[in-house]
Amino acid sequence: MRKLWPLVYPIFLMIVAVILAVLFWRSVLPDLILVVRIDLGNLVFVGGVITAAAWIVLMVLWNRELTRSIDRVQYEAADEKRRFLRRLDHELKNPIMAIRAGLANLEGVSTGDVQKQALSSVEAQTLRLSRLSSDLRKLSELEMRPLEKTAVDINEMLSEAFNLAKDQPNANERELKLTIPQAPWPLPVIQGDRDLLFLVVHNLLDNAIKYTSPGNRIEVRAFEDGSTLVMEVADTGQGIPDDELCHIGEELYRGRGARGIPGNGLGLALVRSIIQRHGGQTIIRSRAAQGTVVTLRLPVHSQYKFTS
């Protein structure tokens, strides 16, 4: 319940009612007949209790309505954001397409070294824009497509993502470790979209490799505590400064330390979106110059609802 302090009012009212009632019951007002005094006292007491009770009920109802309104506003805001991203993506496509076609034409014309270099640089930037456009599309589509729910073997999924990361060129210079518990029992099988969960872990590992230097450690671990499956990707890389931490999951946001490293700031937004659709949470903790850990919490029991 948000803000419990308004309950003070009805409680205060109750106390006042009780005090007044007691005063009436006792002989504080001598000029009134005893019977009247008692009746008055009862009236005040009952009146006070009813008013306080009504107040409390109204508070609870109001609070529930408030929560519902807040949820609705949040949902509408997310919806609007999705629509904006789709519109943006739509508007970007045609100009980028025209540019790529124009560049393909220029390729056919024999040019000098200076032109060749300029052309190749323009092509690289266009490709970057093109990727951004398709990543935006991915993100907006992801929030709408139905999830393919199957029983996901977390062990197998993590191992595959981990092995794929190990095969990446930069990974050779980092220390990679995967810890999956076998005792007292292996990780539970959860209901989810296996490919999307794989994408999440892959993205996090990709980030870990990007934002670490040779010699740093990257650790992947998972465990369950009965009701929740927890997966973590941690690294000893450059970390995220405090002032940037709250923004880090936002679309297209890239911290200062990301300059010069390829990427478009959509990876974590994608991760958050997928985990949220699985009814879970994404928590990012980091210390600048020490490292970062991204924790994914997913409910184990199938009572939770998939947002579809």
Partner 1 sequence: MAIKSKILLVDDETAITTNLAPVLERAGFEVAVASEGEEALRKVSGTKPDLLILDVLMPKMDGREVLRHLRADGNWTPVILLTQVGDSVERAMALEEGADDYLNKPFDPHELVARIKAVLRRARPGQPPLTAGVQLVCEGLVIDRRSKRVHLNEREITLTPKALVLLEYLMTHPDELLSRERLLDVVWGWDYPVETRAIDTRISELRRVLDDDPNSPAFIETVSGQGYRFIGGVRIQDAHP
Q: Is 158 exposed, middle or buried (0-12, 13-18, 19+ CB in 10 A)?
A: buried
- CA distances in angstroms from 287 to 204, 254, 271, 295, listed in the order given: 17, 16, 20, 15
Residue 176 and residue 182: Cα distance in Å, rounded?
A: 19
Nearer to partner 1, 44 or 201 (CB): 201
Residue 210 and residue 292: Cα distance in Å, rounded?
A: 12
Nearer to partner 1, 131 or 285 (CB): 131
Tell the smallest beta-carbon distance from residue 105 to partner 1 (Å).
5
Count helices and strands in the chain by DSSP H and E runs: 7, 7
Tell the smallest beta-carbon distance from residue 144 to partner 1 (Å).
8
Q: Which amino acid is at 190?
A: I
Task: Report phi then psi at 6, rounded to 5.
Answer: -60, -15
185: which DSSP letter?
S
Nearer to partner 1, 202 or 278 (CB): 202
Q: Please provide the DSSP assignment of 99-114 as one string.
A: HHHHHHHHHHS---HH
Nearer to partner 1, 126 or 276 (CB): 126
Nearer to partner 1, 203 or 236 (CB): 203
Cβ–Cβ contacts within 10 Å for residue 31, how many? 5
Look-up of token digits 């025209």 = 98
Residue 63 and residue 2: Cα distance in Å, rounded?
A: 7
Grouping H, G, I as helix, E, B as strand and the rest as coil, residue 257 is helix
Contact present, 149 and 302 (Cβ < 8 Å) = no
Nearer to partner 1, 108 or 262 (CB): 108
Nearer to partner 1, 102 or 186 (CB): 102
Tell the smallest beta-carbon distance from residue 119 to partner 1 (Å).
14
Nearer to partner 1, 94 or 227 (CB): 94
Nearer to partner 1, 112 or 146 (CB): 146
Tell the smallest beta-carbon distance from residue 137 to partner 1 (Å).
4
Contacts to partner 1 by CB under 8 A: 89-90, 93-98, 100-102, 104-105, 108, 130, 133-134, 137-138, 140-141, 145, 148, 150, 160, 164, 167-168, 195, 198-199, 202-203, 206
Sheet holding 175-179, edge to edge: 175-179, 217-224, 228-235, 291-299, 281-287
Tell the smallest beta-carbon distance from residue 252 to partner 1 (Å).
17
The separation between CA 77 and the C-alpha centre of its own chain, rounded to angstroms, equals 15
